[in-house]
Chain A
Amino acid sequence: MIEGIFVEGLIYGIMVLGVFISFRVLDFPDLTVDGSFPLGAALMAQCILMGVNLWLALLIAFAGGVLAGTVTALIHNHLKVPNLLAGILTMTMLYSINIRVLGNRANVPLLNQETVLTKVTDRLTGIVPDDYILLVFFAVVTIVIKVLLDLFFRTDLGMTIGAMGNNEQMVISQGVNPKTLKTIGLGLSNGMVALSGAFAAQYLGFADVGLGQGIIISGLASVMIGEFLIMKSNRISVLTLCAVLGSICFYAVMYVGRYYGYVVKMTPNDLNLIKGILIIVLLVLTQSKKLKKTAVRAVVKND
């Protein structure tokens, strides 16, 4: 049972890495995530029902997310819509699209269907203890994605995207169109979110149009927990590791809340309130941390 705590954190960790790209690297608060996560789940579910090759299905889910991110970027870039509103627009439109993808239904169960997870379980049975198969699989998947992301952000293109989030004028001065970089960044971010949704649907055994509700808050909370727990660094590999660890911590807390919350008379419906309060507490803590630092610096300077 205990491995379930970590599995969720790892599956959603892929989504958290996506949120990390938009919020932290691009400095673009992208709410498309709430729509692209269930989009990935819906595309995966429909592909499974249609008998599409499972690896191709994962690719289709990823591509769907890339498309969603691109739409947000296009709305923001070409219609001069503020970034928050552009994300909300795409997210709202995706709600209808997701229901369409699911075949005009709000929920599609995947029980007794062959999924990537059943295939992996078949393959690994006997090699890895049954209880830990999914844990091992998702640990490998998430780490591979994290490493690929690290490599991407060490390339010339990746570094330029990182510089844009910090200083857009610098990128313009280098003769690069920031609109192109934003499109690439948001596409990548939402592609990963959709991929995470595709895995989540298989893990949960269903795809639901409401899967994405509040996912952006969970993602942001995870990113912040990761940043809070681990020291600051400018190395992308450390930052992505923070995001994944933050996700594992966050979903472990949520898991405990869901299964053992009844002890303090908490129901699963209270979790969204808890998430919000958690973010506020983290904000307060990071700010007081910063204030302390500046206070120390001021004292040192005065000496």
Chain B
Amino acid sequence: MIELKNVSMIFNQGTVNENQAISGINLKVREGDFITVIGSNGAGKSTLFNLIAGSITPTTGTISLNDRNITRDPEYKRAKYIGRIFQNPLLGTASNMSLEDNMMITYRKGFKWLRRSLNHKMRESFRAELVQLRMGLEDRMKENLALFSGGQRQALTLLMMVLSRPELILLDEHTAALDPKNAQIVLELTNKFIADYKLTAMMITHNMSHAIEYGNRLLMMDKGEIIFEAHGEEKQELTVEKLIDKFHQIRHKSFENDRTLLSEE
């Protein structure tokens, strides 16, 4: 699937503000993986996602998808096979358009021509898909998305992304801006969709217990490097305490500052 070889990202290279956000990361994402990514602020988690999604090009190293080099492909081209959800629930949908129009735009990726695809049959299939969310949205197809809550919009973004069957989905703290109840709903939906549709996913989270509970692999990042990785049984046996100890062991520094950032529930 996706493979990162020796990828580094240096911002403002050659100036006083030079900042090495990612240093020499090697990562292989296998099909069917559900990887959770943790790390404190500035560890390079979001930069890593930006590199994979194509919003930035790495300073060195290559990124390949199924052995095809995509390092220089622009974001909109990669978006055809890489789905992404942001922390901001407003970024996934258009506020000034109705729910059905939003679904029309997102149900199929790529350039669209002068056709009118939205017909009765399509509305019915959208309605059937919306039922999965159990939010009653199937009865609000004509309403503008500006009237929907953040949790509803994030759940919609998730559903619409899943329907396009991307090869990899990137979840960038997609529940962090929601209230605890909605965050839990969206997270459960995410887990369900990933299992139902057999998706390959990467999820950034600040919540260590979520990182342990969900997925089959866990990455811990610090200062632009992946410092610890667990999968399979090793991951299942992890606890929040063990993770903190691990960090301490590897970095020989206190996790205290990060304890506040990485909530333990």
Contacts and interface: CB of A to CB of B under 8 A. Distances in A.
Interface stretch (B86-94, B218-226, B241-249): B86-94
A166 B83 contact: no
Given A174-B105, A174-B106, A178-B76, A234 B94 contact: no
Interface in A101-145: none
B109 A167 contact: no
A20 to B, nearest CB: 14
Contact of A152 (B94, B114, B117): B114
A172 B92 CA distance: 10
B110 interface: yes
Interface stretch (A90-98, A156-164, A214-222): A156-164
Nearest to A173: B79
A174 B95 CA distance: 16
Given A173-B84, A175-B76, A159 B114 contact: no
Given A166-B97, A170-B93, A175-B109, A159 B80 contact: no
A176 B144 CA distance: 22
Interface string A159-202: 11011001101111111111010000000000000000000000
B104 interface: yes
A167 B95 contact: yes
B173 interface: no
Main secondary structure on A side of the interface with B:
helix
A163 B76 contact: no
Contacts of B74: 177
Interface string B95-134: 1111001101110011111111110000000000000000
Contacts of B84: 173
Nearest to A163: B94
Interface string B59-91: 000000000000000111101100110100011
A97 B122 CA distance: 48
Interface in B51-65: none
User: Interface size bucket, B side?
Assistant: 35 or more
A163 B105 CA distance: 8
Interface in A233-260: 234
A173 B172 CA distance: 14
B114 A234 contact: no
A170 B92 contact: yes
B113 A157 contact: yes
B38 to A, nearest CB: 24
B135 to A, nearest CB: 20
Contacts of A302: none
A28 to B, nearest CB: 15
A156 B86 contact: no
A177 B98 CA distance: 22
Contacts of A169: 86, 91
Contacts of B96: 162, 166, 234
A156 B117 contact: yes
Contact of A167 (B91, B104, B144): B91
Contacts of B93: 167, 170
Contacts of A156: 104-105, 112-117
Given A154-B116, A155-B114, A157-B112, A174 B79 contact: yes
B36 to A, nearest CB: 22
A162 B112 contact: no
Contacts of B86: 169
A237 to B, nearest CB: 14
A177 B110 CA distance: 9
B2 to A, nearest CB: 17
A177 B77 CA distance: 8
A156 B96 CA distance: 16
Nearest to A154: B116
B90 A167 contact: yes
B111 A170 contact: no
Contacts of A154: 116, 118
Given A155-B116, A166-B96, A174-B79, 18 more contacts: A155-B112, A155-B114, A156-B105, A156-B114, A156-B117, A157-B112, A157-B113, A162-B101, A167-B94, A170-B91, A173-B83, A173-B161, A174-B106, A176-B76, A176-B112, A177-B76, A177-B111, A234-B144
10 contacts: A156-B105, A156-B117, A157-B115, A160-B105, A163-B101, A167-B91, A172-B76, A175-B109, A234-B96, A234-B98
Interface of B: 74-77, 79-80, 83-84, 86, 90-98, 101-102, 104-106, 109-118, 144, 161
List of 10 A-B pairs having minimum Cβ-Cβ separation, nearest first: A156-B112, A175-B80, A175-B109, A163-B94, A166-B94, A175-B79, A155-B114, A172-B76, A167-B94, A169-B91
